[in-house]
Every structure is written in C-alpha cells, then in structure tokens.
Structure 1
C-alpha cells in the first residue's frame, strides 16, 4: 500500500482522480500496488481516492510533469 500525497495542490489531486493517473517523485510504486490519494485542505489531510497502479504511460498532465514519472491507475 502507498499513499500519494498531493500536498496542498487540489488541482493535482483532481488531475490524478479524473485522469486516473498517478505520478511519484521517485520510482516507489509498482504495477498492482494499492494506492490512496490524499490532499491537504484547511490544515487537514483528506483521502478520497483508492486505486491500483497500472502500467506506465506517456500521458503527463501535470505542469511539472518531468518531476513525476507517470503510471496509470
């Protein structure tokens, strides 16, 4: 199990959730890993999405996508 915390970026959280794609700053997840998406809002961490990591993809929807090697969810 992994937690992908989007910090305070609700935009990145929504991109991950709606595009069904995740990106990690380091290669810490493998295909089939269970992940939870989290985001901070009003000084609380909210977790609202659960999924499994799929295969890698070339899709890079983030502004700084070179920092986050993407994987499908």
Structure 2
C-alpha cells in the first residue's frame, strides 16, 4: 500500500509540474501575441487625403448646397 501512495504522490507532483509548464507556455504565447498586435497597431499605415481633392472651399460649399432639398433642409429629420 505504501508504494501505491508513493506512486500517487509522484503522479500528483508530475501532473502539477506539467500543469505549471502548460500555464507558463500559454502565458508566453499570449505575451508574444500581444507584442505582435502592439507592433502591428504601432506601424499601421495612416490614411491621409490628397491635398488637392478638397482644397477649394467654394467648390465644397457649392457641392454641399446641392445636396439640400427644395425647402433648404438636408432631408434628415429628427
């Protein structure tokens, strides 16, 4: 009976060590994934509109007024 108890304790110790190793491995994987995501977010391209597309404010104003309804409203009602 003593040998069964010793084997049981040994298995329990080994199981605990395996679980700890798996937790450490999972933690390392998650930390690497977080680091990769941070790097991707840090270096993502930023969209900038071309300078010539809407530089003329009078053109933008006339385009905006053409979207108005016949009564001068924008057609959006609250």
Whether these two folds match at TM > 0.5 is: no
Q: Which one has a larger percent strand, Structure 1 or Structure 2?
A: 1
TM-score (norm 1): 0.17
TM-score (norm 2): 0.16
Q: Which has the larger radius of gyration?
A: 2
